[in-house]
Structure 1
């Protein structure tokens, strides 16, 4: 049977192997997680090319310090070694691994004195309790009535608020109604990916979110540029639009004919010609597009004709018409 020091040496070797093999890991908290729940999590994560490492923080800290010389970025993981935690090493997709961890939860009853995970509301309706339990509900200030020989709650009642300590009366009520309002499971604290440490909420960011943030940044930069008079690339389209408007306004004010303001000047002189001007503009656009389309079709026809094999003639065979 191996001694304590031999087991510690084997464990240190395993920790070093995991940090050398995997580039990504998740730091998870294991408060109130049972052994059966951990076994189920190990089985599910194994299918996602992942391993769970549990152990004493002091031993893991010692193994990490030995790796800092080759991988200084592991110092970020070293700062997370506090509390009841475990590491999930993975080569799979981080979103799938996170989903697997979050789905591995079990329902749990409320306990007196614990911090509530969420709001707990007892729904209105029959409770199945006999009428002699009415005083119990009256002590909790819960409105009830008797229906078909049992107590029925008249309206929804919030008995526990999130992030507050659970009272004994609320625990007694939930136990009598067989309600288990909370869930226990591994909670992801941080994610380490290729040298970067970030919160798990970062995985919820999509490409569309990044594009929207980029648009907001460009709009803000253009606004600051226009307001301060300092020229930047995002402000150029706005400046060009302003210049075009000023040019058209000057043309109309000076009664100077120019192509950019001709239609607008005609409309201002005779608003009744609006439909005629719109139709003329549409016809002009169609006329500009048609030659391009015709040219493209002609080019395609020439290419197709060039690709067709030339027909053989009698002259190619060296024979005349009457030979």
Structure 2
């Protein structure tokens, strides 16, 4: 048998499928591989409808998918291991995290079936069930749900936990949940891997807390700006802050050293007046009569001065004046 004859025997639908998949792999920079084992067809159709126009859904044979990947120039070494069982391919131009976010946003709920495992606590709520008394009373009894009959219907006396995470769903519980119209099982498409512009991301790495992520970025930005100010990084935004910081620090040094200029004279006088006031207060606490009336100074601080001097003044208020400082202060006041 010649090679040409063996090629002719390949079904036409397989050739067309590989060509179509190859086109999708080349056209879309991002694709996901999802496990659809046991995934309800109804919910898959709903998801397809909601993501129509942004995501292309395709179910195909795994061998044909690998052939198409190779033709599109994608390294298949990883996918050869994970392409087993029934899979769904999702092609998109969104990034991997956007795609996962859209899938999670449109997750739905269905009824638990007998034998399935509860993924969270199941509670039968208090209230009228609308179910007439009869055989169902025994079901409530088996599940240890307190009830009473009122107006010819079964009423649940209080919220009752009937299953915890990891518990197997019994036939009685599955039946009751359907009768009470409680579809509590979350249906979310399980993403195995996402290929995003050459980067392969495992499905369990795709779920992120957006608010936490944004806060982390803002925090990193603030830290980066502060570091830039400290090392005087030559960027416009940084240099503006550096100039303001340098001006404040220089002004504080000038005032502290009592270097008099037309810009600092008022602030130096206010600072001296304040220190004298604090010294007088401390002397009065110790019973020293300095022979003058102590009046609280009126200090009109500029906004920027408050920022520079706030911590320093708070420390001065709390600090205990030593005997030497008292002597120096008295000498300054009385000569």
For the aligned pair, the TM-score class normalised by the smaller chain equals 0.5 to 0.7
Is 1:63 the counterpart of 2:65 in the alignment?
no
Aligned equivalent of 2:21:
15
Describe the SS at the equivalent of 1:171: helix
Which of residues 166, 171, 188 in structure 1 aligns to 2:169?
A: 166
Aligned equivalent of 1:90:
92
**Matched-pair contact (CA < 8 Å) for 1:189–1:200:** no
Alpha-carbon separation, structure 1, partners of 2:186 and 2:64: 30
Aligned equivalent of 1:210:
217
Question: Deviations for 1:120-146, whole angstroms, at most 9, x for unmatched residues?
Answer: 211001122334443432222211222
**Matched-pair contact (CA < 8 Å) for 1:116–1:164:** yes
Aligned equivalent of 1:229:
none
Question: Deviations for 1:183-207, whole angstroms, at most 9, x for unmatched residues?
Answer: 4353334433222233322483654
Aligned equivalent of 1:269:
279
Describe the SS at the equivalent of 1:178: coil
> CA 1:163–1:81 in 2, change beyond 3 Å: closer, same or farther?
farther
Alpha-carbon separation, structure 2, partners of 1:284 and 1:112: 70
Alpha-carbon separation, structure 2, partners of 1:130 and 1:65: 62
**Matched-pair contact (CA < 8 Å) for 1:119–1:161:** yes
Residue 15 of structure 1, CA deviation: 1.9
Alpha-carbon separation, structure 1, partners of 2:138 and 2:188: 37
Alpha-carbon separation, structure 2, partners of 1:65 and 1:207: 38
Is 1:30 the counterpart of 2:36 in the alignment?
yes
> CA 1:43–1:3 in 2, change beyond 3 Å: closer, same or farther?
farther
Is 1:153 the counterpart of 2:156 in the alignment?
yes
Given the two structures, how large is their TM-score scaled by the length of structure 2?
A: 0.59
Task: State the number of aligned residues.
Answer: 253
**Matched-pair contact (CA < 8 Å) for 1:32–1:184:** no
> CA 1:283–1:63 in 2, change beyond 3 Å: closer, same or farther?
closer
Alpha-carbon separation, structure 1, partners of 2:17 and 2:303: 80
Alpha-carbon separation, structure 2, partners of 1:114 and 1:284: 66
Aligned equivalent of 1:136:
139
For structure 1, which segment, 17-26 or 77-86, has the greater mean C-alpha deviation from structure 2 after superposition?
77-86
Aligned equivalent of 2:56:
51
Alignment RMSD (CA, Å): 4.1
Which of residues 125, 128, 141 in structure 1 aligns to 2:127?
A: 125
Describe the SS at the equivalent of 2:51: helix
Describe the SS at the equivalent of 1:162: coil
**Matched-pair contact (CA < 8 Å) for 1:102–1:187:** no
Residue 265 of structure 1, CA deviation: 3.1
Residue 218 of structure 1, CA deviation: 9.5
Flag the structure with more relative contact order, 1 or 2, with Cα contacts below 8 A and sequence separation at least 6. Answer: 1
Aligned equivalent of 1:282:
302
> CA 1:82–1:176 in 2, change beyond 3 Å: closer, same or farther?
same
Q: Any gaps of 5 or more consecutive residues in structure 1?
A: 222-231, 286-323
For structure 1, which segment, 55-64 or 34-43, has the greater mean C-alpha deviation from structure 2 after superposition?
34-43
